[in-house]
Chain A
Amino acid sequence: QQPVQSPQAVILREGEDAVINCSSSKALYSVHWYRQKHGEAPVFLMILLKGGEQKGHEKISASFNEKKQQSSLYLTASQLSYSGTYFCGTQGGSEKLVFGKGTKLTVNP
């Protein structure tokens, strides 16, 4: 039931783009995205609901394909501050939010 994230890790240079994918074997009601920096708590980025539109602000956006039970997080023109581990969390029929194992993003100067 745990969603699968890919890739597990990605290294970028500042200004490059990245895509992080999240897929589930179950029908999804919603997908959350969080970023966690080392030694800190996860921080909420955005939520995508079934039937909702693609979300985003500034250079971070996400999409939700309900039929494929997949979501993707898009990071455009990455900044050093984008470094961290990105988690997707999925909700199926219940209220439980189940997190993937995370994608470690490193942005270098």
Chain B
Amino acid sequence: AQSVAQPEDQVNVAEGNPLTVKCTYSVSGNPYLFWYVQYPNRGLQFLLKYITGDNLVKGSYGFEAEFNKSQTSFHLKKPSALVSDSALYFCAVRDSDRGSTLGRLYFGRGTQLTVWP
């Protein structure tokens, strides 16, 4: 069964410091991995994805994520955090086997990122 774990409910970091939001996954086939961000009272906004190719993927607003197959992880990173990065972050996975899932995403429970000035 497909699943995603975000082990930290909250991550706090000072502005200008690097940030990491952790995500591990479990799928039966090859994974398609995604990160989304949600600001208060808004929908989810797509940040980046890993489908195939380079393990380091770059996305919007200076975010990047590294796919690690052996550790089944897809951690979100940013070299220098901004106060405006404070939001709720969701990791999601989809099995590359489309057969029965028909594109269904499995979301982690979310990590609240707070960047203080």
Check if A and B associate: no
